[in-house]
Homo-oligomer: A and B are copies of this chain.
Amino acid sequence: MVSKRIQKALLGNSAIRAMFVEGKAMAEKYGAENVYDFSLGNPATPAPAALNDSIRDLLDEADKKGAAGSLELHGYMENAGYKDVRETIAANLNKRFGTAFDDHNIVMTVGAAGGLNIIFKTVLDPGDEVIVFAPFFGEYRQYAANFDSEIVTVNPDLKTFLPDLNDFEAKITEKTKALIVNTPNNPTGVIYKPETMEAIASILEKKQKEFGHDIYLVSDEPYRELVYDGNKEDFLTKYYKNTIVGYSFSKSLSLPGERIGYVVVPNEASDAEELIRGIEISNRTLGFVNAPSLIQKAVARCLDEKTDVSFYDENRTMLYDGLTELGFTCIKPEGAFYLWVKSPVDNEEEFVEEGKKLHLLMVKGSAFGCGGFVRLAYCVSHETVKNSLPAFEKLAQVYGLK
């Protein structure tokens, strides 16, 4: 007899994960080369060679030290993570973004998903509201629900897919405790430029004063390094004091299975010391305890490494140009590895089903709180993109697009 929460979850499980499983089944049936699976945000470029080499070095160095080396490499450390790892990450952020962090501002986490959950556990009381900008990564809803909080959705500008800031201002209430910002964005690929961030910050400042309590900007940053067309990597703590960052190495180093990331709490956040200690405690009491040890030390040696962004850029151009040419309306991605495509019919689930008939796997926009669109994850091989275009052409014909 499972809990009521899980009974409900069993009925409406992740659309993305369901598609992932369906895609595997189709690949077995028709051959992987005949299925164009754009469903899952699973990196398609290998980790930089430096990652495996760093792991090897760490093992060799530990073995040389004998028992002490093994205990240090695979043993418990502070719940916040190894001090030297946190120092290295702080110094790297300071070098790249002109910040002034030290090790105590950093808590190593089990990926960004683990990071967001321990942030939420630390700041949310039951009944609090978390604002998200639609379309958004659907798991945010679960993460807020884990702490008896609800998400409140802000509408997008349907031309730019930036948030409608009037709607944002109107949706902030006495109960608002946090806003999640995800730039470069999943699922649209849109980047929030400095003017957007400044406008968001100014609304938050005003509302903090109006309601007399803190509202945290929680920055979910797995795609920070995946930017195109000369766009710059950005770090959001400079726009707004009450910013808490949740970062993941999953995409930048192509190791999503390893579950490694970190949280940054800047000193200028209100009650920064309590926040940091609360996040450390939450890391322990939610059952993460600490980020995996060996991989903590390995990523600390690869902070200036990056997976091959040009690989995704090539897919981006091929898919965006190809689909636009076929008559589809697409938002041009500036970062991440997703293409956000308008469904030719209002009910995009119908469009998704038509796509499946042609072995095209897309995820419905309603999974991101924004119906009428679909998401294509172009973290696939160049061949998959190239070979999918004739199928998309047939799909365009079904809807008389050209």
Contact = CB atoms under 8 A, between A and B. Distances in A.
Q: Which secondary structure characterizes the binding site on chain A? A: helix
Residue among A40, A77, A285 with the highest chain B CB neighbour number at 10 A: A285
Contacts of A6: 121-122, 274, 278, 281-282
Interface in A1-25: 1-7, 9-10, 13-14, 17, 21
Interface of A: 1-7, 9-10, 13-14, 17, 21, 40, 42-47, 49, 51-52, 55-56, 59, 62-63, 66-67, 69-71, 73-79, 110-111, 113-118, 121-125, 139, 142-143, 146-148, 213-214, 254-260, 270-271, 274-275, 277-278, 281-282, 284-295
A62 B52 contact: yes
Given A3-B122, A271-B2, A259 B281 contact: no
4 cross-chain pairs, A with B, having the tightest CB-CB distances, nearest first: A257-B293, A46-B70, A117-B287, A74-B255
A7 B271 CA distance: 11
A285 B49 CA distance: 31
Contact of A257 (B122, B124, B284, B292): B292
Nearest to A51: B74
Name which of A6, A59, A277 has the most chain B CB atoms within 10 A of its CB: A6
A66 B40 contact: no
Given A256-B76, A294-B295, A125 B287 contact: no
Determine which residue in A7, A66, A254, A256 has the highest number of CB atoms from chain B within 10 A of its CB, and name it.
A256
A260 B115 CA distance: 18
B45 A287 contact: no
A3 B123 contact: yes
Contacts of A285: 9, 139, 142-143, 146
A5 B286 CA distance: 13
B295 A292 contact: yes
A291 B214 CA distance: 34
30 contacts: A1-B214, A2-B271, A2-B278, A3-B121, A4-B125, A6-B122, A6-B278, A10-B274, A40-B76, A43-B75, A45-B67, A46-B66, A52-B70, A55-B294, A56-B56, A74-B258, A76-B256, A76-B257, A110-B287, A110-B289, A111-B289, A113-B287, A115-B287, A116-B287, A117-B287, A146-B285, A257-B293, A259-B288, A259-B290, A260-B292
Given A6-B278, A117-B287, A284-B17, A271 B1 contact: yes
Contacts of A255: 74-75, 293
Given A43-B75, A258-B292, 8 more contacts: A9-B278, A10-B277, A13-B277, A17-B284, A46-B69, A257-B294, A258-B293, A259-B288
Contacts of A284: 14, 17, 113, 139
Contact of A123 (B1, B52, B292): B1
Contacts of A110: 110, 259, 287-289
A290 B257 CA distance: 7
A44 B70 contact: no
Contacts of A67: 45-46
Given A75-B43, A124-B3, A292-B257, A114 B287 contact: yes
